[in-house]
Amino acid sequence: MTSSLRREVDEEGRLDESYVQDAFHSYLKSSLAQAKVERLLDVEVLSSAEGDLMITGASKYPSSSECPDSRSD
């Protein structure tokens, strides 16, 4: 357990940005699945949200500073 914790937490005890992004993406996916099962949202709204989630996906960049579109103006 310690080895995986080291990858998720930096030397100052902060969670790694990519870990948080991936966890949030996973949370959104499971929330949409639950809403679908319980029929909490219209089919159109669910389809749109699922499509948006698939388009954005989890971040493939470890931090926003490494994203090619990020600018440090």
- Amino acid 69 reads D
For residue range 17-68, what is the model confidence (pLDDT) as tens digits? Answer: 888 888 988 999 899 889 989 999 888 888 888 888 777 665 555 544 555 4
pTM score, two decimals? Answer: 0.57
Give the model's pLDDT for residue 49: 85
29: its two tokens? 């996916």
pLDDT digits (tens, 9 = 90+) for 11-22: 888 998 888 888
Q: Which residue has the tokens 């790694």?
A: 16
Structure tokens at 8: 């998720």
- Comparison of pLDDT for 3 and 45, the residue scoring more: 45
